[in-house]
Amino acid sequence: AVKHRLWPEIEKVTMEQLHYARLGVGGAGGWQLFAEDGDMRMYRREEEADGLVVDPLKACHVVKGVTGHEVCNIFFSPEYRSGWEATLEDMTVVENISNDTLIFLQTHKRIWPATQRDSLFWSHIRRVSDDQDPDAHDLWIVCNHSTELPDYPANTGKCVRLYLSVSLVCQTFIDPPKEGERIKREDITCKITYCSVVNPGGWAPASVLRAVYKREYPKFLKRFTSFCIDQCKDKPIVF
């Protein structure tokens, strides 16, 4: 099948995001822990691009009872989004590139005193076999990366267009069940790494943005992972 015009970028960004997600948060990377809740650790680096806060964020979480495939599928699929994305006012799939790649147009709820934002991004889901450790379980990754489309020009309506590059990387670990027993959900653990760089687009006060990030990101990840557990608990396991 002919590859889409975005395919080279999707391939490049997805692999870059996978590499970036695997980098640790220790050492000289400048990551500072800013939120902790149970097994969730959230780190950020304070960075500005032409006076705008674009603090990269990296969150590491461990969730029991769901697989990486299930978690990435929920994060990717439009039909689940209203169930876990509390900051969305509107969401449209504007292009169906393939069954693993969509383009979303989203309007985010206004967060006072910042102007309301919208985002236009491609979203790609993929299973990655772990080349470094073949007997480790597969990784799943979803990448959301801002893009431009002539039909949806930036900053023409009431919203300021924000630019995002986000990845969700999940790895599944299975405690071997007793001889001859089936794998149960309590034998499954999913290690989640969520990375995000959001450029708010138009001006927003640094102090306000940092306060919003500090408040919103922990809520966002907890709400998302709880939704995944609830969605999957009574369903057959999808590896």
Ligand X SMILES: O=S(=O)(CCO)c1ccc(-c2ccc(C3CCCC3)c([C@H]3C[C@H]3c3ccccn3)c2)cc1
Residue numbers at the binding site for ligand X (CB under 6 A): 85, 87, 106, 108, 111, 114, 117, 119, 144, 162, 164, 166, 196, 198, 200, 204, 212-213, 216-217, 220
Give whichever of 65 and 116 is closer to ligand X, judged by the CB atom.
116
By the 8 A CB rule, do 130 and 138 touch? Answer: yes
Q: How far is the CB of 208 from ligand X (least distance, A)?
A: 8
Give whichever of 173 and 199 is closer to ligand X, judged by the CB atom.
199
Give whichever of 112 and 179 is closer to ligand X, judged by the CB atom.
112
Spatial distance between the Cα atoms of 43 and 57, rounded to a whole number of angstroms:
6
CA distances from 171 to 92, 112, 200 (A): 29, 36, 30
Q: How far is the CB of 72 from ligand X (least distance, A)?
A: 12
Spatial distance between the Cα atoms of 73 and 141, rounded to a whole number of angstroms:
9
Spatial distance between the Cα atoms of 141 and 114, rounded to a whole number of angstroms:
31
Spatial distance between the Cα atoms of 219 and 213, rounded to a whole number of angstroms:
10
Give whichever of 101 and 188 is closer to ligand X, judged by the CB atom.
101
Q: How far is the CB of 135 from ligand X (least distance, A)?
A: 31
Spatial distance between the Cα atoms of 134 and 11, rounded to a whole number of angstroms:
21
Structure token digits, residue 51: 């006076």
Helix, strand, coil percent content, the chain, rounded in steps of 5 = 25, 35, 35
Buried b (16+ CB within 10 A) or exposed e, 195-213: bbbbebbeebeeeebeebb
Phi, psi of 225 (to 5 degrees): -70, -35
Packed helices 68-76 and 206-232: angle between N→C axes, nearest 10 degrees = 120
Give whichever of 68 and 200 is closer to ligand X, judged by the CB atom.
200
Q: How far is the CB of 199 from ligand X (least distance, A)?
A: 9
Q: How far is the CB of 204 from ligand X (least distance, A)?
A: 5
Q: How far is the CB of 59 from ligand X (least distance, A)?
A: 10
Give whichever of 13 and 188 is closer to ligand X, judged by the CB atom.
13
